[in-house]
């Protein structure tokens, strides 16, 4: 599996009263990793949405392994585990930059949709860009 990496520093706004990364923030960080990966693939979210293509989250898994703390440098690893014409599954790892400690692992499954029109088959051009990451 080919991994995309995105660096980040844990922000104060993303922590709880104890300075620990709030559990909901991990999902937001996964989204950030996914958005950066798509942009680097040549499929920025704003262009997908301009084309009327949306990725609806239909499944999410989360494993909290160790706490992240305010100010720590982390990186988000994102990969495509499954790619079909109507569905894509991303997997994530969030790790500390210093020491490579695994903080979080998880996945999201998304159906491709055209807004209120329901699910769609991803157009061939878009599918080939995602596939290039899977095949590389």
Say whether pTM exceeds 0.85.
yes
121 belongs to a structural domain: yes
Q: Count up the domains in the chain and report the number.
A: 1
Q: In this structure, are residues 117 and 41 in contact, taking their beta carbons and an 8 Å threshold?
A: no
Mean pLDDT to the nearest integer, 21-47: 96
Specify the CATH number for the domain of residue 53. Answer: 3.10.129.10
Kindly list the catalytic residues. Answer: 16
Q: What are phi and psi of 11, to 5 degrees?
A: -85, 150
- Summarised one tens digit per residue, pLDDT across range 81-136 is 999 999 999 999 999 999 999 999 999 999 999 988 899 999 999 999 999 988 76
99 belongs to a structural domain: yes
132 belongs to a structural domain: no
24 belongs to a structural domain: yes
Residue 86 DSSP SS3: coil
The per-residue pLDDT for 135 is 72
């Amino acid at each position: 599996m080919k991994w995309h990496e995105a660096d980040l520093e844990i922000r104060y706004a993303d922590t709880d009263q104890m300075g620990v990364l709030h559990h909901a923030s991990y999902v937001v960080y996964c989204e950030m990793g996914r958005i950066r990966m798509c942009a680097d693939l040549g499929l920025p979210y704003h262009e997908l949405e301009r084309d009327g293509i949306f990725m609806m989250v239909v499944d999410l898994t989360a494993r909290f392994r160790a706490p992240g703390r305010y100010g720590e440098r982390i990186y988000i690893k994102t990969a495509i585990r499954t790619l079909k014409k109507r569905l894509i599954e991303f997997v994530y790892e969030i790790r500390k930059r210093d020491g490579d400690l695994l903080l979080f692992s998880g996945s999201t499954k998304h159906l491709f949709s055209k807004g209120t029109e329901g699910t769609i088959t991803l157009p061939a051009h878009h599918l080939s860009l995602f596939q290039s990451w899977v095949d590389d």
